[in-house]
Structure 1
Amino acid sequence: MEIVDEGQAMEVAAAASAWPGPSRRSHLLQFLLHVSKRLDLRPIVKYSAFEFFDARFLPGLPRKMGFCGARSGRAVRSWLIEPLRDSNLELFALVAVWIASKIHEMRPLSVKSLKALSDRVIADQHFTCRDFADAELVFMEVLDYNIGCTNIAFIYLEELLIQFREISKLGDLVNMDVCMEILDVLYETEDTAWLFNFACPLAASTLVCPLNAAFPLTSKRY
C-alpha cells in the first residue's frame, strides 16, 4: 500500500483549492469573452459556455486529475492536462463554446471553424481537428457527461424581462445589452463569480440595475 505523506497531501489539497488562481482565471475568461465576440455567439450560447467552462470544468478539473484523493473516482489521463498549459485551457474554452453551440443552435459551429479561430487566437500551439475531439472527450469526462444547463442567469433574465414588460412600461427602458455587460463584469470578477450559483436572484438584481441608474433614489428633507 502506498503511504501518502500528510504534509504532501495537505500541500496538494491547498494547491487544488487555490486553482486556477485569480490571474489565470481572469485571463481565461477574457479569452472566452474575446472568442465569443469573434464568433458573434448568441447570448444563450455564450453564457452556456461560461457555465460549462467556469462553473463546472475549471472547478472539476483538479478532482479529475487526482488532486483530491481516491474518493474522487477514476482520474482523467490525457496529454492535454499533463502538463496543463494555458494554451490547452484555451482549447478547452473553445470546446465549451462548441458544446454549447451543439445544444442551442440548429447549425452548430463546425470543428473546422473553431480550429481556424484557434490558429489565430491561441499563440503557443496549433491544434488539429483531432485535438478538438480529444479535448471534447476530456471535457465531457470532467463534467461526468452531464451537459444540462438550465441554471443560467441569462435564461432567468430573459424570462423576467418579458414578464416585467407585460406588467409595466418601465420594462421598455431596460437595455438587455447593458444587463449582459453587467453579467460579463460579474463573471470576470472572481469575488462576485459565486453569485452565479444563485442564478434567479442574480438575474433579478441585474434587471433592476439599469433602472436604478436611470432613476436614482433621492432623499428630501422636510
Structure 2
Amino acid sequence: MKINLNEILYAVSFALDATEAEYYERIRNNGISVIGETSILRADNVRFSYKDHRNVVVTVGHSKRIAALSIVMGKALGLDDNKLIDLAAYAVLHDNALTEVIQEENQYKLYNNGIGYSDEDYNIRCATIGEKNTSLLPFRTNNRDVILLHNEHSDGSGPFGRHYENTPIKAQIIHLANSVDTHCDLTTITKENYTEICNYVRNNSGRLFSVEV
C-alpha cells in the first residue's frame, strides 16, 4: 500500500489547528491565564488566532502557508523534487512542538513563581523537541537540523547563534516564510500588504535572512 506522507502531514496540521483551538478556547472559557495577562484570543472551531506574551500572532492555515511559500522559494533556489517534497513536509511540521512546550512551560511556572521561559529558552525548547519529534520520519533527503535551526538569523543572532553559512538551506527558507507570515497578514493579499512584505524582507536582508535566500 502506497502512503502519501504529505497528505498525512496536512491532516496532522489540521488536527493541530483543531487541538490548539480547543486548548485556547478552554483557557478563555475557564478564565485561566496560562499564556500571559496580555493575551488576545479569538476562537471559532478551527478558525482562530492568538497573540501571546511574546507578541506572536498565529492564524489558522499558518503551516500550510509556510509550506506554499517554502516551495516557491525552494523552486527559485533550484532545489530538486525530492528536496521540495521534504521541504514542504518540514514546513508543515515546523511548529510541531508548540503545544508540548506551552504545556511544559506551564509546569515550569508552577515551580518558578509564575515566571515562564525566556524568549530564547522558549524557542530553543520548541526547536529541540520539534527536531526530536521529526528525527525518525521517513523523508527522502538529508534534513538534519532543519527544524532545530529554523529560527536562526543570518547574522548569528538567533537562538543557537548559527550564521547562515552554517544553517541548512531548508531551515533558512522556512525561517523566512515563517517570519513573513507572522509579521505580515497573508490571509488576504492586497497591494498594501504586498508592499509591507517586500519592505519587511528588504529591511531584514542580511540580518534575519541571508541575501542569497
Q: TM-score, normalised by structure 1?
A: 0.34
**Greater helix percent: which structure?**
1
**Greater strand percent: which structure?**
2
Q: TM-score, normalised by structure 2?
A: 0.35
Q: Which has the higher contact order (CA 8 A, sep 6+)?
A: 1
Kindly name which structure, 1 or 2, has the bigger radius of gyration based on alpha carbons. Answer: 1
